[in-house]
Amino acid sequence: MQLIEEESSEIASSNRGPGRYAVFGQPIAHSLSPRIHAAFARQLSIAHDYRPIEASTEEFVGALAAFAESGGVGANVTLPLKQHAARLCLSISETARRADSVNTLVRRGEGWHGESTDGAGLIRDITGRQRLYVRGRRTLLLGAGGAARAVAFALLDAGIGELTIANRTAERADALADAIGQPERVHTRYWTDLGQWGGFDLVVNATSAGHANMSLALPTSLLASRAICYDLSYGKASFGFLAWARSAGAGHALDGLGMLVEQAAEAFEIWHGKRPETDAIYAELRAYLPGDAED
């Protein structure tokens, strides 16, 4: 990581003024990342030009090339571009390679280096901020996209007991399980059989259903006593899943705001070599978001 930090700093200094940073995704107008990174930059007195850039999967290659041409030295990547970003990198970290998912880009010479900070952000939020444990927990992961892939490896590395993956397209869940390669700990199940799996200690929603105003229609039998339910989304996109979790008797119903802040801090440290303190911006954003999205 030190090499990444030194190289990104050298590249940034070679451009006129502060290096440019961005977050790519679609949709992107709702993103809190610019606000978070602005707060980190103020805290550490670092010049940090960071902007949202809307890009579809078809537009991403051109948009990223134009960004680099304009002086871009670092970027975050969100839905639906994380796996696409992995294909565009000249080099990639082991964490990102395993997950086949990139959410942080660093400019190295004439190409991009890819990192994945989603998993680290999730674990920091659950075990650090929320002071909950994941070790030994029987875990259900809903979804098999880029974010799901990143957190699956992080959860296993953190010591969960076993992982069951469910996705509406069963082939994607099977592909993720095959990529992990731990058949004694990792299983897949059909979405239509959700009610037959018994109780889970930790349920992580990594689907995009909330962004599309879709209901997951989950059975209450999924939850063990005092289970943790965690939605990787935040704000209104997480409301449906968290409402279900509370009605089903979850011990903790959490949205992904803390994960968002922590993965951003990981990216900021990669770019600038300094890790910002996260509690103040987390509290600010928690007060800013509509509704109650945390227990």
20 annotated to a ligand binding site: no
Rounded to 10 deg, the angle between the 279-288 and 257-272 helix axes is: 140
234 is in an annotated binding site: yes
DSSP H helix total and E strand total for the chain: 11, 12
- Buried residues in 63-98 as b, exposed as e (16+ CB within 10 A): bbeebbeebbbbbbbbbbbbbbbbebbeebbebbeb
Number of C-alpha atoms within 13 angstroms, CB side, residue 73? 26
Nearest to 223 by CA among 247, 206, 240: 247
Task: Decide if 82 is catalytic.
Answer: yes
Nearest to 115 by CA among 86, 141, 148: 86
Q: Which residue in the list 20, 37, 48, 82 is annotated as catalytic?
A: 82
Does the annotation place 168 within a ligand binding site?
Answer: yes
Annotated binding-site residue? 47? no
3-class DSSP assignment, residue 35: helix
55 is in an annotated binding site: no
Q: Is 169 annotated as ligand-binding?
A: yes
226 is in an annotated binding site: no
Instruction: Determine whether the annotation assigns residue 292 to a binding site.
Output: no
Q: Check the annotation: does 86 bind a ligand.
A: no
Cite the annotated binding site for NADP(+) by residue number.
94, 143-147, 167-172, 232, 256
Cite the annotated binding site for shikimate by residue number.
31-33, 78, 103, 118, 234, 263
Cite the annotated binding site by residue number.
31-33, 78, 94, 103, 118, 143-147, 167-172, 232, 234, 256, 263
Residues belonging to the active site = 82
